[in-house]
Structure 1
Amino acid sequence: MSQASEFHNIDNPNDGLFRELGEGLTTRIFSGEQAMLSIVTIAPNSQGTRHQHLEEQWGVLLEGSAIRFQGDEEIPVKKGDFWRTPGGVPHTMRAGPAGARVLDIFSPPRPEYRKPGKGFAGG
Protein backbone atom coordinates (compact mmCIF):
# COMPACT_ATOMS: atom_id res chain seq x y z
CA MET A 1 0.00 0.00 0.00
CA SER A 2 1.27 3.48 -0.87
CA GLN A 3 1.95 5.71 2.11
CA ALA A 4 0.42 8.65 0.21
CA SER A 5 -3.04 7.51 1.37
CA GLU A 6 -1.92 8.08 4.99
CA PHE A 7 -1.34 11.85 4.46
CA HIS A 8 -4.06 14.45 4.96
CA ASN A 9 -4.49 18.21 5.29
CA ILE A 10 -6.28 19.79 8.23
CA ASP A 11 -7.59 22.64 6.06
CA ASN A 12 -8.94 20.50 3.18
CA PRO A 13 -12.76 20.47 3.60
CA ASN A 14 -13.06 17.44 1.28
CA ASP A 15 -10.61 15.26 3.23
CA GLY A 16 -11.89 12.75 5.80
CA LEU A 17 -15.25 11.25 6.62
CA PHE A 18 -17.87 13.99 7.11
CA ARG A 19 -20.33 13.87 10.01
CA GLU A 20 -22.91 16.45 11.14
CA LEU A 21 -22.88 16.45 14.93
CA GLY A 22 -25.71 18.95 15.40
CA GLU A 23 -26.89 22.37 14.31
CA GLY A 24 -23.76 24.45 13.74
CA LEU A 25 -21.38 21.53 14.45
CA THR A 26 -19.63 19.41 11.84
CA THR A 27 -16.61 17.16 11.86
CA ARG A 28 -14.21 15.42 9.50
CA ILE A 29 -12.97 12.10 10.85
CA PHE A 30 -9.72 10.23 10.22
CA SER A 31 -9.57 6.73 11.68
CA GLY A 32 -6.60 4.47 12.26
CA GLU A 33 -6.30 1.12 14.00
CA GLN A 34 -5.69 2.42 17.54
CA ALA A 35 -6.61 6.14 17.38
CA MET A 36 -9.01 8.47 15.62
CA LEU A 37 -8.79 12.19 14.82
CA SER A 38 -11.84 14.42 14.49
CA ILE A 39 -11.62 18.01 13.26
CA VAL A 40 -14.70 19.74 14.64
CA THR A 41 -15.98 23.09 13.38
CA ILE A 42 -18.39 24.91 15.69
CA ALA A 43 -20.35 27.92 14.43
CA PRO A 44 -20.32 31.11 16.54
CA ASN A 45 -22.12 30.65 19.88
CA SER A 46 -23.23 27.10 18.94
CA GLN A 47 -23.13 24.29 21.48
CA GLY A 48 -22.99 20.53 21.19
CA THR A 49 -25.20 18.07 23.01
CA ARG A 50 -23.86 16.94 26.38
CA HIS A 51 -22.76 13.33 25.90
CA GLN A 52 -20.32 10.68 27.09
CA HIS A 53 -18.59 7.68 25.58
CA LEU A 54 -16.25 4.91 26.71
CA GLU A 55 -13.26 6.14 24.69
CA GLU A 56 -10.63 8.48 26.11
CA GLN A 57 -10.63 11.84 24.31
CA TRP A 58 -8.01 14.56 23.99
CA GLY A 59 -8.91 17.96 22.48
CA VAL A 60 -6.91 20.93 21.18
CA LEU A 61 -8.50 24.31 20.42
CA LEU A 62 -7.06 25.20 17.01
CA GLU A 63 -9.01 28.42 16.39
CA GLY A 64 -11.46 30.69 18.17
CA SER A 65 -12.57 30.50 21.78
CA ALA A 66 -14.98 28.31 23.70
CA ILE A 67 -16.32 27.07 27.00
CA ARG A 68 -15.59 23.41 27.75
CA PHE A 69 -18.25 21.71 29.89
CA GLN A 70 -16.68 18.64 31.45
CA GLY A 71 -18.18 16.81 34.40
CA ASP A 72 -19.60 19.56 36.64
CA GLU A 73 -17.13 22.24 35.48
CA GLU A 74 -17.22 25.05 32.90
CA ILE A 75 -13.71 25.91 31.72
CA PRO A 76 -12.93 28.75 29.27
CA VAL A 77 -10.47 27.68 26.55
CA LYS A 78 -8.43 29.70 24.07
CA LYS A 79 -6.38 28.86 21.00
CA GLY A 80 -3.61 26.43 21.93
CA ASP A 81 -5.30 25.03 25.05
CA PHE A 82 -5.69 21.25 25.19
CA TRP A 83 -7.43 18.87 27.57
CA ARG A 84 -8.16 15.23 28.33
CA THR A 85 -11.60 13.75 28.86
CA PRO A 86 -11.55 10.29 30.45
CA GLY A 87 -14.05 7.75 29.15
CA GLY A 88 -17.49 8.00 30.77
CA VAL A 89 -17.24 11.72 31.67
CA PRO A 90 -20.15 13.86 30.36
CA HIS A 91 -18.94 16.79 28.24
CA THR A 92 -19.69 19.29 25.50
CA MET A 93 -18.43 22.62 24.18
CA ARG A 94 -19.91 26.02 23.33
CA ALA A 95 -18.06 28.19 20.81
CA GLY A 96 -17.38 31.86 21.43
CA PRO A 97 -18.57 34.72 19.19
CA ALA A 98 -16.02 33.91 16.44
CA GLY A 99 -16.73 30.17 16.46
CA ALA A 100 -14.18 27.46 17.16
CA ARG A 101 -12.25 24.64 15.52
CA VAL A 102 -11.13 21.70 17.64
CA LEU A 103 -8.92 18.70 16.98
CA ASP A 104 -10.23 15.73 18.99
CA ILE A 105 -8.22 12.53 19.40
CA PHE A 106 -9.96 9.33 20.49
CA SER A 107 -8.43 6.09 21.70
CA PRO A 108 -9.58 3.56 20.83
CA PRO A 109 -11.48 4.78 17.75
CA ARG A 110 -15.21 5.37 18.28
CA PRO A 111 -17.17 2.73 16.30
CA GLU A 112 -20.05 5.12 15.50
CA TYR A 113 -17.59 7.59 13.93
CA ARG A 114 -16.37 5.06 11.36
CA LYS A 115 -19.34 5.91 9.13
CA PRO A 116 -20.95 9.14 7.94
CA GLY A 117 -24.12 10.20 9.68
CA LYS A 118 -25.53 12.60 12.20
CA GLY A 119 -25.16 13.11 15.91
CA PHE A 120 -22.56 12.33 18.54
CA ALA A 121 -23.47 8.65 18.72
CA GLY A 122 -25.20 6.12 16.52
CA GLY A 123 -27.03 6.90 13.22
Structure 2
Amino acid sequence: MIAGGPRPVAPFSHAVEADGWVMLTGQMPTDPQAPDAALPEGIAAQTARVMENLKLILKGLGLDLGHVVQCRCYLTEFERDYAEFNAAYQEYFPEDRRPARTTVGVTALAVGALVEIDCLARRPQ
Protein backbone atom coordinates (compact mmCIF):
# COMPACT_ATOMS: atom_id res chain seq x y z
CA MET A 1 0.00 0.00 0.00
CA ILE A 2 1.23 3.48 -0.86
CA ALA A 3 0.91 6.17 1.81
CA GLY A 4 -1.48 8.86 0.56
CA GLY A 5 -2.74 6.61 -2.22
CA PRO A 6 -6.40 6.21 -3.13
CA ARG A 7 -8.53 4.29 -0.67
CA PRO A 8 -9.05 0.78 -2.09
CA VAL A 9 -12.62 -0.10 -3.04
CA ALA A 10 -12.01 -3.80 -2.34
CA PRO A 11 -9.45 -5.98 -0.49
CA PHE A 12 -6.29 -5.50 -2.57
CA SER A 13 -2.88 -3.83 -2.61
CA HIS A 14 -2.12 -0.73 -4.66
CA ALA A 15 0.69 -2.68 -6.32
CA VAL A 16 2.62 -5.93 -6.12
CA GLU A 17 6.20 -6.37 -7.27
CA ALA A 18 7.92 -9.57 -8.38
CA ASP A 19 11.38 -9.77 -9.98
CA GLY A 20 11.32 -6.13 -11.08
CA TRP A 21 7.81 -6.33 -12.55
CA VAL A 22 5.27 -4.08 -10.85
CA MET A 23 1.56 -4.81 -11.25
CA LEU A 24 -0.64 -1.85 -10.35
CA THR A 25 -4.21 -2.56 -9.35
CA GLY A 26 -6.87 -0.90 -11.47
CA GLN A 27 -7.44 2.62 -10.27
CA MET A 28 -10.75 4.39 -10.02
CA PRO A 29 -11.38 8.13 -10.51
CA THR A 30 -11.61 8.77 -6.78
CA ASP A 31 -9.78 11.62 -5.07
CA PRO A 32 -7.19 10.30 -2.60
CA GLN A 33 -7.69 13.42 -0.46
CA ALA A 34 -11.49 13.12 -0.44
CA PRO A 35 -12.38 9.46 -1.11
CA ASP A 36 -16.08 9.96 -0.45
CA ALA A 37 -16.42 12.97 -2.77
CA ALA A 38 -18.43 12.70 -5.96
CA LEU A 39 -16.53 11.41 -8.98
CA PRO A 40 -15.42 13.94 -11.60
CA GLU A 41 -17.98 14.57 -14.34
CA GLY A 42 -17.33 12.99 -17.74
CA ILE A 43 -14.84 10.57 -19.21
CA ALA A 44 -12.03 13.10 -19.76
CA ALA A 45 -12.03 14.24 -16.13
CA GLN A 46 -12.34 10.70 -14.83
CA THR A 47 -9.50 9.51 -17.07
CA ALA A 48 -7.28 12.33 -15.79
CA ARG A 49 -8.05 11.43 -12.17
CA VAL A 50 -7.30 7.73 -12.81
CA MET A 51 -3.99 8.61 -14.48
CA GLU A 52 -3.04 10.92 -11.59
CA ASN A 53 -3.83 8.09 -9.15
CA LEU A 54 -1.59 5.74 -11.14
CA LYS A 55 1.18 8.36 -11.10
CA LEU A 56 0.80 8.69 -7.33
CA ILE A 57 1.22 4.96 -6.81
CA LEU A 58 4.16 4.77 -9.21
CA LYS A 59 5.84 7.69 -7.43
CA GLY A 60 5.43 5.90 -4.11
CA LEU A 61 7.40 3.02 -5.64
CA GLY A 62 10.13 5.27 -7.05
CA LEU A 63 8.76 4.89 -10.60
CA ASP A 64 6.82 7.00 -13.11
CA LEU A 65 4.71 6.52 -16.24
CA GLY A 66 7.90 6.03 -18.27
CA HIS A 67 8.26 2.64 -16.58
CA VAL A 68 4.81 1.46 -17.69
CA VAL A 69 4.91 -1.21 -20.40
CA GLN A 70 1.26 -2.20 -20.59
CA CYS A 71 -2.17 -0.81 -19.61
CA ARG A 72 -5.59 -2.39 -19.49
CA CYS A 73 -8.44 0.08 -19.68
CA TYR A 74 -12.09 -0.56 -18.93
CA LEU A 75 -14.91 1.72 -20.12
CA THR A 76 -18.57 1.41 -19.16
CA GLU A 77 -19.72 3.46 -22.17
CA PHE A 78 -17.26 2.23 -24.79
CA GLU A 79 -18.84 3.54 -27.98
CA ARG A 80 -19.78 6.89 -26.47
CA ASP A 81 -16.51 7.54 -24.60
CA TYR A 82 -13.74 5.81 -26.58
CA ALA A 83 -12.58 8.80 -28.64
CA GLU A 84 -12.67 11.24 -25.73
CA PHE A 85 -10.95 8.69 -23.49
CA ASN A 86 -8.14 8.31 -26.04
CA ALA A 87 -7.69 12.08 -26.25
CA ALA A 88 -7.29 12.33 -22.46
CA TYR A 89 -5.16 9.17 -22.12
CA GLN A 90 -2.63 10.08 -24.81
CA GLU A 91 -1.67 13.26 -22.93
CA TYR A 92 0.13 11.10 -20.34
CA PHE A 93 2.53 9.28 -22.68
CA PRO A 94 4.87 10.65 -25.35
CA GLU A 95 3.87 9.53 -28.84
CA ASP A 96 7.10 7.57 -29.29
CA ARG A 97 6.84 5.82 -25.88
CA ARG A 98 3.29 4.64 -25.41
CA PRO A 99 2.77 1.35 -23.57
CA ALA A 100 0.97 -1.62 -25.07
CA ARG A 101 -2.73 -1.29 -24.30
CA THR A 102 -6.02 -3.14 -24.33
CA THR A 103 -9.31 -1.29 -23.91
CA VAL A 104 -12.46 -3.22 -23.08
CA GLY A 105 -16.09 -2.22 -22.75
CA VAL A 106 -17.68 -3.47 -19.53
CA THR A 107 -21.17 -3.33 -18.06
CA ALA A 108 -20.20 -1.68 -14.77
CA LEU A 109 -17.27 -0.62 -12.58
CA ALA A 110 -16.88 -0.08 -8.84
CA VAL A 111 -18.11 3.24 -7.39
CA GLY A 112 -20.09 3.93 -10.58
CA ALA A 113 -16.94 4.93 -12.47
CA LEU A 114 -16.83 5.38 -16.24
CA VAL A 115 -13.20 4.22 -16.45
CA GLU A 116 -10.67 2.04 -14.65
CA ILE A 117 -7.06 1.47 -15.66
CA ASP A 118 -4.52 -1.04 -14.38
CA CYS A 119 -0.96 -1.33 -15.59
CA LEU A 120 2.24 -3.28 -15.62
CA ALA A 121 5.54 -1.47 -15.05
CA ARG A 122 9.13 -2.68 -15.17
CA ARG A 123 11.74 -1.51 -12.70
CA PRO A 124 15.07 -0.65 -14.37
CA GLN A 125 17.62 -3.43 -14.06
Pairwise TM-score range, normalised by the shorter structure: 0.3 to 0.5
Which protein has the bigger helix share?
Answer: 2
TM-score w.r.t. structure 2 length?
A: 0.36
TM-score w.r.t. structure 1 length?
A: 0.36
Of structures 1 and 2, the one scoring higher in RCO (CA 8 A, sep 6+) is 2
Which protein has the bigger strand share?
Answer: 1
